[in-house]
Structure 1
């Protein structure tokens, strides 16, 4: 830093150095906490599953199975219908001493494994056997759904970076909105094409799944645009916290929202990355069943972000008009000939 008087290098303020050091340390600690703490405390937290068994046996299982929320069904078909409609993650079907675990690993490989393990443990206690039936799995090219699990961070960063680039390169409000819509459409098509044809995570309708991805990207992009336009640099910080620091680790895409500590899993489903990932899962593998909540969350982010953006444009335009009027008045006064006595 050069002094304006003599060109010498000014000595930095010790408070500035201390502030940078402490700030970076706090940022790193916050990042580690946000990303590692939910994973370190992962486990079943009221995971909804079904039980097909006599009422007394179902009540006994409800008391024995910590971390699971048990619903009794009268038949395997009823339990399967509940899985297909995303009411439960799987079911234990008790037939005498034998226990069959009905799971849908496409809903969550981690929960499917937990249900299968529980089925084995229950059957062993009564000297029976167990087996697992996976009624809806990921395609063979991506059997663990790694592509979907890894998608939370690109969704968060993609929307944040897209909004930054739009704000930097596009300078009119209308053009920014059109560009954001274009990014959402093309980005949704590209995202689903990659997950379907390159990674092999999806095997459902490409166009329907792409529409879901477009909504998720639009919600993220417009949320960042709105916060930035209305709040300036602070808005970008808020967007980074909501989308990256919280939205990514709390999305539940690597396991399930119910596998995260309460209430963090539920909070993650109210943020764009988690809502988008859950919606893509529901649309791609369960015919849209269970997607209504996620769609509602994303529409709120989309409409709210657009409202913030329009409000910020109106406020900033009003400010610019005042500055322009003052400039013209001052310039007109400067151009008038002065009257000397």
Structure 2
């Protein structure tokens, strides 16, 4: 066999360069360009004090926060527990206090701690600003590293399900049944590891299983549907969307509001982002704030079924057409 032409060598190098550039951009850009913008927080206290503090912070950290004014500490804490805000500034006791929820986002909690330093320069010289963590991860994983690390396996679980079932099983019903069965068994296994071994998750074990299983099912059925309709190119397209867009923009490691521009909102419309936020809600907030994520994941799961049915109907129609086009062979008697 003769060696390949040098033009093919250059073409292969160019293709690999393009691929590695896309991978680097997809995974590094959200982190490099991350910043605090429009992070929802509550401010509790008298109207005049709330207005003074929000104006001062708006000047020092423009566009960083989306403020919600509440009357007292209890109302601010309830907004945090309902996952409507990431934290609060409490002005009700005279001395400012910053309330964080590191379980919602460790990075946002760190940002809110810096707000205490900013508050010391806004009219209460020498005052000590206390910081209180209202909702923190379990003691065995205080930084929430396990949940952040689970983001990639959640995506890979759905992708590997679709790839392996496409190769191993024949029949649409069996592939869908296989995907749903693995979603449950994989959810049971992953949750047990994260919750009972690593100690990274709190809350109800079964609720966490449901969050992980729904994420795997939404991802795998979407990819199976694309493969059924478009063949292997559809499987590659779906995998690229989940891995190169969905995973980097999921916001599971930081928070959607920490990602640049519109990318955080886009990430929450894809299974990796919705799945990460759903698991955070079930693990740390008794399911509060999970409605949007459940709707997104259920929508992707339904889309996968529709694509799979459409692909099956297309295949049967093509089979009938090919059978009709086969010329009849005369039989000699």
TM range (shorter): over 0.9
Q: Is the 8 A contact 1:120 1:131 kept in 2?
A: no
Does 1:106 pair with 2:83?
A: no
Residue equivalent to 1:256: 255
Residue equivalent to 1:232: 231
Q: Please, what TM-score do these two structures have when normalized by structure 1?
A: 0.90
User: 1:320 & 1:63 partners in 2: Cα distance?
Assistant: 68
User: 1:18 & 1:314 partners in 2: Cα distance?
Assistant: 43
Residue equivalent to 1:183: 182
**Cα shift at 1:19:** 3.1
User: 1:337 & 1:21 partners in 2: Cα distance?
Assistant: 60
Q: Is the 8 A contact 2:159 2:239 kept in 1?
A: yes
Aligned with 1:253: secondary structure?
coil
**Cα shift at 1:218:** 0.5
Does 1:117 pair with 2:117?
A: no
Residue equivalent to 2:14: 22
Does 1:41 pair with 2:33?
A: yes
Residue equivalent to 1:322: 321
Per-residue deviation, residues 277-302 of structure 1 (Å, max 9, x unmatched): 10011122112111000001001100
Residue equivalent to 2:82: 85
User: 1:91 & 1:124 partners in 2: Cα distance?
Assistant: 18
After TM superposition, the structure 1 = structure 2 runs for residues 301-340 of structure 1, keeping only pairs within 5 Å, are 301-324=300-323, 326=325, 329=327, 332-333=329-330, 336-337=331-332
Aligned with 1:98: secondary structure?
coil
Residue equivalent to 1:222: 221
**Cα shift at 1:120:** 3.0
Does 1:58 pair with 2:55?
A: no
User: 1:172 & 1:236 partners in 2: Cα distance?
Assistant: 17
Residue equivalent to 2:204: 205
CA RMSD of aligned residues (A): 1.8
Flag the 1:63–1:234 CA change in 2: closer, same or farther, 3 A: farther
Q: Is the 8 A contact 1:90 1:115 kept in 2?
A: yes
Aligned with 1:132: secondary structure?
strand
Residue equivalent to 2:68: 71
Flag the 1:248–1:129 CA change in 2: closer, same or farther, 3 A: same
Per-residue deviation, residues 136-168 of structure 1 (Å, max 9, x unmatched): 110011111111111121111111111000000
**Cα shift at 1:202:** 1.0
**Cα shift at 1:324:** 4.6
Flag the 1:20–1:324 CA change in 2: closer, same or farther, 3 A: farther
Select the residue among 23, 29, 42 that pairs with 1:31.
Answer: 23
Per-residue deviation, residues 171-193 of structure 1 (Å, max 9, x unmatched): 11111111011011111111111
Flag the 1:27–1:324 CA change in 2: closer, same or farther, 3 A: same
**Cα shift at 1:11:** 4.9
Q: Is the 8 A contact 1:250 1:257 kept in 2?
A: yes
Residue equivalent to 1:3: none
**Cα shift at 1:310:** 1.0
Aligned with 1:44: secondary structure?
coil
What number of residue pairs does the alignment pair up? Answer: 326
Residue equivalent to 1:5: none
**Cα shift at 1:132:** 1.2
Q: Please, what TM-score do these two structures have when normalized by structure 2?
A: 0.92
User: 2:49 & 2:7 partners in 1: Cα distance?
Assistant: 67
Which sits farther off after the overlay, 41-50 or 14-23? Answer: 14-23
Per-residue deviation, residues 310-340 of structure 1 (Å, max 9, x unmatched): 111111122234335556x56x44xx349xx
Q: Is the 8 A contact 1:97 1:129 kept in 2?
A: no
Aligned with 1:92: secondary structure?
strand
**Cα shift at 1:17:** 3.4
User: 1:19 & 1:55 partners in 2: Cα distance?
Assistant: 66
**Cα shift at 1:119:** 1.8
Residue equivalent to 1:162: 161
